Amino acid sequence: MCIFFLKGCEASVLLNATKEGGAEKDGFLNLSLRGFDVIDDVKSAIEKSCPGVVSCADILALAARDAVQLTGGLFWKVETGRRDGRISLSKEIDANLPFSNFNITQLKQNFASKGLTKKDLVVLSGAHTIGSASCLTINTRLYNFTGRSDTDPALDPTFASELKKKCKPGGILPVFELDQGSSTISDAHFYKAVRQNRGLLISDAALLDDHATRAYVKRQSTSAAGATFGRDFGKSMEKMGRIGVLTGSEGEIRQRCALVN
């Protein structure tokens, strides 16, 4: 879902590479993105009954919402009317997407550069209530945190040992649940894991390093307050869904999501 973070919600992440170079989907940080065929199928069906009207950017925003809704109670309103971008370059990824080894200062800066607050940061990180991360992603955290063959001391030691049994130095697979034991259900459980130092990514653990984000993690990790997560998440997703939107005569309505017209 980090798809929204490069230029914004204009579906450049769906485009294929061109002679100008690799596309966003070819970039290292996006290698685990999948489901492009599902979006293509939706687009073909819509084009048959309503050609040239519904953008790939809107389809992607609606599909992301619907996919999350299928995993639990989270739901938000998706505004429509976006148009599709025409450029997608993998070389632009590094300057825009947040890296999983970012500390809290870097995360806040990255979000602020997109007009998102630290509340949005802690709330949207809650998207890691579903899905997984690869052994490759957490390898440095487990085996070479500061370059001295060490493990991140912020990671619960028992959890670190469990991970090391399956994730070997330099390994790529397997993948691990971002929210251990609850990664197919979208709920506030992720915050419990983070509070117990069982957040998988350095960026998840970093939420404990700022006064306000830590307070939010604490509040959401108690079951009574967890109920407000759904409302907060919806609000922040709506806000994120407005980033970099193209309207009017900007961009185009692609005929096929992987190709510009």
Which residues sit at the interface with ligand HEM, rule CB under 6 A?
A: 1-2, 32, 98-100, 102, 107, 124-125, 127-128, 130-134, 137, 178, 201, 203
Annotated binding-site residue? 128: yes
Is 221 annotated as ligand-binding? Answer: no
CB of 165 to ligand HEM, least distance (A): 18
Q: Which is nearer to ligand HEM, 117 or 255 (CB)?
A: 117
Q: Which is nearer to ligand HEM, 129 or 151 (CB)?
A: 129
User: Distance of CA 69 to CAs 17, 72, 211, Å?
Assistant: 31, 5, 30
Query: Is 66 annotated as a binding-site member?
Result: no
**146/184 with CB nearer ligand HEM:** 184
Question: Residue 129 annotated as binding?
Answer: yes
Vertex 113: Cα angle to 218 and 139 (nearest 5): 60
Instruction: State the residue number with the nearest CB to ligand HEM.
Output: 131
Short-list 88, 76, 169, CA closest to 124: 76
Quote the CA–CA distance of 108 and 210 in Å, as a whole number. Answer: 10
| Least distance between ligand HEM and beta carbon 248 (Å) | 27
Residue 178 beta carbon to ligand HEM: minimum distance, rounded to whole angstroms: 6
Distance in Å, CB of 170 to ligand HEM, minimum: 15
DSSP E strand boundaries for 115-199: 132-134, 175-177
- Kindly tell me which of 102 and 162 has the beta carbon lying closer to ligand HEM: 102
Positive or negative, the CA dihedral 166, 167, 168, 171 is positive
- Report the number of secondary-structure helices (H) and strands (E) in the chain: 10, 2
List, in order, residues 6 or more apart from 130 with CB less than 8 Å away. 68, 71, 178, 179, 183, 184, 185, 186
List CB contacts of 215: < 8 A, sequence separation 6 or more.
Answer: none
Query: In angstroms, what is the minimal distance from the CB of 29 to ligand HEM?
Result: 7
24 known ligand binder: yes
Nearer to ligand HEM, 139 or 228 (CB): 139
Q: Which residues contact 191 (CB under 8 A, 6 or more apart)?
A: 126, 216, 217, 218, 220, 221, 226, 229
Least distance from ligand HEM to the Cβ atom of residue 5, Å: 7
210 is in an annotated binding site: no
Nearer residue to ligand HEM within complex by CB, 224 or 243: 243
* Residues 99/108, Cβ–Cβ less than 8 Å: no
- Residue 27 among known ligand-binding residues: no
Annotated binding site for substrate: 98
Annotated binding site for Ca(2+): 8, 12, 24, 129, 179, 187
Annotated binding site for heme b: 128
